[in-house]
Structure 1
Amino acid sequence: MKVFVLLVLSAYILIENEAAMTDAQLKAALKLLRNVCQPKNKATNEQIEAMHKGDWNQDKNGMCYMHCVLNMYKLIKKDNTLDYEVGMSTIEAQAPDSIKATAIHSLNSCKDAAKTTSDKCIAAFEIAHCLYLDNPPAYFLP
């Protein structure tokens, strides 16, 4: 339900302002997304922070957290591959200018990052890991 509210709020902001989200709005959206996905997948703060610091040695909970995040953003298809078209349109419409160029570059670099498509959590983890490796300082997932 929280994600639905977030999406409706984001759409309202875009319609009213006819502009991308601000950095503050993005930060709030990412926090909400983390608050939904973290307890759902029993990922710890330490696991999530480790990924942001480059430690991608994760168990299934950390991997499934990434699936939840990508799924909430509609960035992963039913076949567990990156939904490139949705990702590009979302970045173009909603990403703040401060991350737009790097996010587009990372998405282009990670089009085919999912190799283990038989497992949704591993596939999402592979995509998120690729996004991180493309530009660690500009990593944008929560």
Structure 2
Amino acid sequence: MGKEHKIGLMIDQNVPITEEQMRNTAATLRNVCQPKSKLSNDVIDKMKDKVFPTDKPAKCFVQCVLENMGIICDPVAIACLWITELMRKSKINYDAAMKQFDLLLPDSMKDDYKAALTRCKDSTGGEKNACEAAYKMVVCFSTDNPTFTFV
């Protein structure tokens, strides 16, 4: 059995992450999840433009990204679990995610992300399959969200 990895970003809990830190973390996540999914660079690059293929490898790539993203908030390793807490057992954890958006997102992204979260909190529709649930959430989250970014 393979070893599980969570991607972390060391930040000050009281200071939002920068867009550059988000891009660097996204690149790391892509490098972790792309080999598992065997998706081409072209397919993943299109996800940045909100084009999400509907095949299983693409859906499981999205799930891998969400599952592996976490943010460690301080040197004492108090976990914020930003995206990890966003979804639990294929359901969106609305309150935890909203709190993390307030604490961690750059001001330029907060309103768009909070509005998308409110709009998408029931988007998984009780889906039990983790890849399907993650895919449904990200597709909803990217819709009408001008500051949405993905790997």
Per the normalisation by structure 2, the TM-score is: 0.77
1:49 matched residue in structure 2: 45
Question: Is contact 1:37-1:65 (8 Å) kept?
Answer: yes
Greater helix share, 1 or 2? 1
CA deviation vs aligned residue, 1:66-115 (integer Å, no higher than 9, x gap): 1112223212111x111212221221121111211111111111000112
Backbone CA RMSD of aligned residues: 2.0
Alignment of 1:1-142 (within 5 A): 3-4=6-7, 6-7=8-9, 9=10, 13-15=11-13, 18-72=14-68, 73-74=83-84, 75-78=86-89, 80-115=90-125, 117-135=127-145, 137-142=146-151
Provide the rounded CA distance (Å) in 2 between the counterparts of 1:86 and 1:40: 28
AA aligned to 2:116 is S
8 Å contact from structure 2 (residues 59, 134) kept in 1? yes
Q: Which amino acid aligns with 2:25?
A: A
Paired residue total: 133
Q: Deviations over 1:29-50 (max 9, x none)?
A: 2222222222222232222222
Q: TM-score, normalised to structure 1's length? A: 0.81
Q: In the alignment, is the contact (CA less than 8 A) between 1:114 and 1:124 conserved in 2?
A: yes
Contact 1:91 1:100 in 2 (8 A): yes
Over 3 Å counting, the alpha-carbon distance change for 1:38 and 1:120 in structure 2 is same
Identity of aligned residues (%): 31
Alpha-carbon distance change, 122 to 92 in structure 1, aligned in 2, over 3 angstroms: same
Structure 1 portions without partners, runs of 5+: none
Change in CA separation of 1:86 and 1:36 when aligned onto 2, cut-off 3 Å? farther
Structure 2, unpaired ranges of 5+: 69-82
